[in-house]
Amino acid sequence: MQKYDYDIIIVGAGASGVFASYEFTKLDCKAKILVIDKGRALEFRRCPITTGDVERCIRCTPCSIMNGYGGAGSLSDGKYNITTEFGGELHRYVGTKKAIELMKYVDSVLVSMGGGDAKLYSTASSDLKTIALRNDLHLLDAMVRHLGTDRNVKILEKIFAFTSRNVDFIFETTVEDVEKTPQGFSIRTNKDEKRYTCKDLLLAAGRSGSKWMSDTVRKFGIRQQSNRVDIGVRVELPAEVFKHITDEVYESKIVYQTDKYNDMVRTFCMNPYGEVVSENTNGIITVNGHSYADPKLHTGNTNFALLVSNKFTEPFKNSNEYGESIAKLSNMLGGGVLMQRFGDLVKGRRSSEKRMLKCFTVPTLKATPGDLSLVIPKRQLDNIIEMVYALDKIAPGTANEDTLLYGVEVKFYNSEIEVNENLETKIEGLYALGDASGVTHSLSQASASGVLVARRLAEKYGCI
């Protein structure tokens, strides 16, 4: 009988991989476990922009913002939304009650590891919902725990210290090939010719690993359902404009159906007193936002995304490819991220260095002043402009001339992989979890999926 190197291998140390390995350790699982990630260990994850070495993204490989221990969520602003109204479809597999229970459990772990000082916000009894409805805007229900980038990193350090006692980790290593063996799996990495073998394999490659994930499951004949891609801009404005909203609910997920096209536009990832950042997804530079728990790191601005969802069927089905082409166009014109004043956009003129010198909103990201209408398709841009005016009704000042728009912001989603209620594919022992599975789209749900699979395998190995 073949001797396996490990009982369980987890490919990806993002949110789902982190919480799967944490749960295995907490349950005192006796299985031999390995986690492999193409990024760096947490202490070595440094973006040259944040350290002041460069002003713009220089396309590090791999991108430390997107890859490494904790995944893309490590150096984000640590926002965990406990809800099934957005952030993924985990509830379709395990039921709404269990999905919420799992997310609350994740929250309890974060609190125990140092997140107790972070306030848990709720939109449930907010007057904002009524005000929004009066203006044809819809506020989605959620509980939100905002850790901040700084506190989030410290929590992940504690989780890693706890987990690494019983779980092996290999960083800066890419999985090149996965093969099925009679009793498990064999994987080959880019480091040497050695193959690692295991009985159970957890694919948790995150959003940045969506292409790899799709190729891997396609090799095994596992069905995938085309998912969407969200395309939009990152809005930055003085924090006072949204203060009455962010002080009450912090993260406001607001949805609007446009009059012109009946398309849905939504706010995403709101960062009070935060900063706009760039990130590298497979060589494509897009924009995002962060915020910090420490008031000393606060800026005078708030930023959030406005996103329009795009899903294709026939004859074109690759939503991510569509999003990539738009992001590449922005990179070509701006050398990275483009930036435009809202007033210039609606007047049909390019924002220039000269116009930016007169701008009252001070940008937090070094970006190229330009014309977003040359990058974002008219339909999406019309939707975004209409949404800005709609938000101006509940947050006067949103549609000011000096409101800044950064482009493009693209949220890539993997095709939804066919799995059962345990997130196991039709190949016995092969699991797809986290955002790369297409099932989850958020830190909370991705983390919860890791807990779910770990508990299932802990039962199998007799660890509970």
pLDDT at 455: 96
- Residue 50 · residue 38 · CB < 8 Å: no
Contacts of 421 (CB under 8 A, 6+ apart): 93, 94
| pLDDT confidence bin for 25, thresholds 50/70/90 | very high
Judged against a pLDDT cut of 50, whether residue 315 lies above it is answered with: yes
Choice among 191-200, 333-342, 423-432 with the minimum mean pLDDT: 191-200
Whole-angstrom Cα distance, residue 394 to residue 387? 11
Quick one: average pLDDT of 247-261? 93
Each domain of the chain, given as residue ranges in start order, spans 6-121+143-225+415-460, 229-412
Whole-angstrom Cα distance, residue 175 to residue 178? 8
Quote the Cα angle for 298-300-306, to 5°. 95
Q: Which residues of 228-327 form beta strands (DSSP E)? A: 229-238, 254-257, 264-271, 275-281, 284-290, 301-310
The phi-psi region of residue 276 (left if phi > 0; otherwise alpha if psi is between -120 and 50; otherwise beta) is: beta
Q: What is the DSSP letter of 273?
A: T
| pLDDT tens, residue by residue, 189-204 | 998 777 899 999 999 9
**Fold topology of 6-121+143-225+415-460:** FAD/NAD(P)-binding domain (3.50.50)
Mean pLDDT of the chain: 92
| pLDDT tens, residue by residue, 44-100 | 888 887 777 777 787 888 888 788 999 887 777 789 999 999 999 999 999 999 999
Judged against a pLDDT cut of 70, whether residue 347 lies above it is answered with: yes
- Residue 425 · residue 418 · CB < 8 Å: yes
Closest residue by Cα to residue 453 from 24, 12, 5, 13: 24
pLDDT at 1: 40
pLDDT at 3: 59
Does residue 33 or residue 320 have the better pLDDT? Answer: 33
Whole-angstrom Cα distance, residue 109 to residue 23? 10
Q: Say which amino acid occupies 437.
A: S
Q: What percent of the chain has pLDDT over 70?
A: 98
| pLDDT tens, residue by residue, 134-182 | 999 999 999 999 998 899 999 999 999 999 999 999 999 999 999 999 9
pLDDT at 211: 83
Distances (CA, A) of 234 to 10, 76, 304: 33, 15, 6
> What tokens does 376 get?
């974002």
| pLDDT confidence bin for 40, thresholds 50/70/90 | very high
HEC letters along 48-83:
CCCCCCCCCCCCCCCCCCCCCCCHHHCCCCCEEEEC
Judged against a pLDDT cut of 80, whether residue 237 lies above it is answered with: yes
- Residue 310 · residue 323 · CB < 8 Å: yes
pLDDT at 4: 67
Tally DSSP H helices, then E strands, for the chain: 12, 22
pLDDT at 319: 79
For residue 156, the surrounding DSSP H or E stretch is helix 149-163
| pLDDT tens, residue by residue, 378-387 | 999 999 999 9
- Residue 184 · residue 429 · CB < 8 Å: yes
The distance from CA 267 to its chain's CA centroid, rounded to whole angstroms, is 14
Q: What percent of the chain has pLDDT over 90?
A: 73
The distance from CA 238 to its chain's CA centroid, rounded to whole angstroms, is 24
Does residue 415 or residue 271 have the better pLDDT? Answer: 271
Quick one: average pLDDT of 329-347? 94
| pLDDT confidence bin for 366, thresholds 50/70/90 | very high
- Residue 450 · residue 204 · CB < 8 Å: yes
HEC letters along 168-229:
EEECCCCEEEEEEECCEEEEEECCCCCEEEEEEEEECCCHHHHHHHHHHHHHCCCCEECCCE
pLDDT at 271: 94
pLDDT at 255: 97
Judged against a pLDDT cut of 90, whether residue 124 lies above it is answered with: no
Whole-angstrom Cα distance, residue 90 to residue 81? 13
* pTM of the predicted model as reported, rounded to 2 decimal places: 0.89
> What tokens does 183 get?
């009793």
pLDDT at 256: 97
Quick one: average pLDDT of 319-331? 88
Quick one: average pLDDT of 286-303? 93
